[in-house]
Amino acid sequence: MKKVLAIFTAALILFTLFSLISCSETIDSKYLKIGVDDSYPPMEYKDDKGNTIGFDIDIAKEIARRLGKEPQFVSTAWDGVFFALNTKKFDCIISSVSMTAKRLSEFTFTKAYIANSQMIVVKPGDNSISKPEDLAGKKIGCQVSTTANESATKLQEKGTKFAELKTYDQVIQPFADMKAGRLDAIIADEVVGQYYIGLDNANFKAASVKLTNEPIGICLKKGNKVLADKIQKAIDEMTADGTMKQISLKWFKTDLTSNIDTVLKQMN
């Protein structure tokens, strides 16, 4: 009996120590580990010196500061970012995660912190696309495993037949292909599409139609409400004191972070 009790006591001590270590790593860690697909300008990308910069990066750094933590960015390809979150490679994804119904059911999110939509980018002088169905017969490009990819697939399922749908690992690649004459249109996040149009309006312009409104939120593992609430409190403070607006103006020259519901309605 004493032997059994001793084994039980030892097991209890080990369990307690393990629990304390786990709590220390997940709650008391000095780092906020953030998953990013850092090939997605202007949201998150590498500059010429290899530094990770962008709108989401500025947001993440400020959130971490207000949580009393150091931001630690974990570069992850987009098609593996949700798996990596679920396997605890990082604490959250701050990387232009559109809040779709499916994702809301599978993960825990903050409230939206920036407005967004799916837009269509075409060549200057191309006025042939005034509704989604006008993409029929055209060569379309989008980034793989994104809501842009989902929008294109749904159009096909509803009967819009593209000449070709090409998917790419990085969002910059379809823009390079369009510039080279290999695509007729690109489906992309509004925040990204407008960025590339601003950089090169001799080769890109926005079509007159948009596909979906997709506000962006911070994504956490399902059930991680404690951290989600802390991040949300930081976002609320940043909105109230004008920090969110300042960061938006820096990257987009307009405020996409205040009165998000109103902005999304205007984007319809």
One domain, residues 137 and 204: yes
Q: What is the pLDDT of residues 34-93, one digit of tens each?
A: 999 999 999 999 999 999 999 999 999 999 999 999 999 999 999 999 999 999 999 999
Domains of the chain: total? 2
Q: What is the pLDDT of residues 175-191, one digit of tens each?
A: 999 999 999 999 999 88
One domain, residues 185 and 249: no
For residue 262, the model assigns a pLDDT of 62
Question: From the centroid of its chain, how far is CA 35?
Answer: 10
One domain, residues 191 and 172: yes
- 95, two tokens: 């990387």
One domain, residues 81 and 202: no
One domain, residues 198 and 123: yes
The span from the CA of 193 to the CA of 172, in Å, is: 10
One domain, residues 219 and 209: no
Q: Which domain holds residue 71?
A: 23-115+215-253+262-266
For residue 20, the model assigns a pLDDT of 39
One domain, residues 239 and 221: yes
β-strand partners of 134: none
CATH of the domain at 135: 3.40.190.10
Query: Cβ atoms within 10 A of the Cβ of 26, count?
Result: 13
One domain, residues 101 and 232: yes
Query: Cβ atoms within 10 A of the Cβ of 257, count?
Result: 26
Query: Cβ atoms within 10 A of the Cβ of 55, count?
Result: 25
For residue 6, the model assigns a pLDDT of 39
Evaluate whether residue 14 is within a structural domain: no
One domain, residues 157 and 195: yes
One domain, residues 208 and 127: yes
Q: Which amino acid is at 143?
A: Q
One domain, residues 157 and 171: yes
Evaluate whether residue 97 is within a structural domain: yes
Confidence of residue 19 (pLDDT cuts 50, 70, 90): very low
One domain, residues 154 and 209: yes
